[in-house]
């Protein structure tokens, strides 16, 4: 282990773009040291360089979260470089749009591998470090923030498999709270509708970007959760776009 700076530390997956990058930036600005992960090494290095401008230590780990050995390596490298974990952000995800009857098994499996299995395996690997950090900082504890989706709460046409993975992720957060919140480790699933990122480019023909949720809105919600004491557990936060139909992506 390379010795801790005494600063709070976060591990953020999916940190090279979109919401994950937005949350990583917000944490860096607040004084966190970071481990950041994404599949594309070049894009990850570019993001890490920008995040380091805030002055903290940023350790990039390129990893394909569909591969279990990559997940384990990510957990090991984070522990080796930082030795503590105040905030785990489960930001990596993949989604495909197709009617339920036309969803291929390959795409179904990939979404469950990245959106459900990977967070489960990573949580198993780092939960001891989260508990250790929470015990050392009992007032604040340690936080897990999972980027779920409103589709895990309210169904959206053509997103059956994706919504099912996000419902499973929400349930996983609830299980963490049932098993670990008494030890100071709590989990919050943030469940937004369409956010203006490249992941929602496929829907821009019917929803213009300026009508979507902003990345900074989700990042600010995530950061607010990190500021709560260990005595407050927020299982989920649903964020919808304005309009007459509230429960919509």
Active site residues: 162, 166
Please choose, from the candidates 118, 80, 87, 89, the residue with its C-alpha nearest in 3D space to the C-alpha of residue 13: 89
Interior angle at CA 232, CA 227 and CA 238, nearest 5: 80
Interior angle at CA 19, CA 56 and CA 139, nearest 5: 55
**How many angstroms separate the CA atoms of 232 and 241, rounded?**
26
**How many angstroms separate the CA atoms of 146 and 31, rounded?**
21
* CA-only gyration radius of the chain, Å: 17
Strands 9-13 and 185-192: unpaired
**How many angstroms separate the CA atoms of 173 and 131, rounded?**
15
Strands 185-192 and 58-62: unpaired
């Amino acid at each position: 282990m390379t010795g801790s700076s005494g600063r709070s530390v976060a591990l953020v997956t999916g940190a090279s773009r979109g919401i994950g990058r937005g949350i990583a930036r917000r944490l860096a600005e607040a004084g966190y040291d970071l481990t950041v992960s994404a599949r594309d090494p070049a894009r990850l290095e570019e993001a890490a360089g920008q995040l380091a401008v805030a002055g903290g230590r940023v350790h990039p780990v390129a990893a394909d979260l569909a591969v279990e050995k990559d997940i384990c390596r990510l957990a090991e490298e984070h522990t080796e470089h930082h030795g503590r974990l105040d905030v785990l952000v489960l930001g990596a995800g993949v989604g495909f749009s197709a009617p339920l009857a036309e969803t291929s098994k390959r795409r179904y499996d990939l979404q469950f591998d990245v959106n459900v299995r990977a967070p489960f395996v990573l949580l198993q690997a780092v939960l001891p470090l989260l508990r250790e950090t929470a015990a050392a900082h009992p007032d604040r504890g340690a936080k897990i923030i999972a980027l779920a989706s409103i589709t895990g709460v309210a169904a959206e046409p053509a997103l059956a498999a994706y919504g099912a993975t996000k419902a499973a992720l929400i349930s996983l957060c609830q299980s963490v709270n049932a098993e670990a919140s008494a030890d100071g480790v709590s989990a919050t699933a943030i469940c937004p509708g369409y956010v203006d990122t490249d992941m929602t480019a496929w829907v821009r023909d019917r929803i213009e970007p300026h009508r979507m949720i902003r990345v900074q809105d989700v990042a600010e919600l995530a950061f607010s959760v990190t500021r709560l004491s260990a005595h407050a557990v927020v299982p989920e936060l649903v964020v919808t776009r304005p309009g007459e139909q509230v429960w919509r992506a």
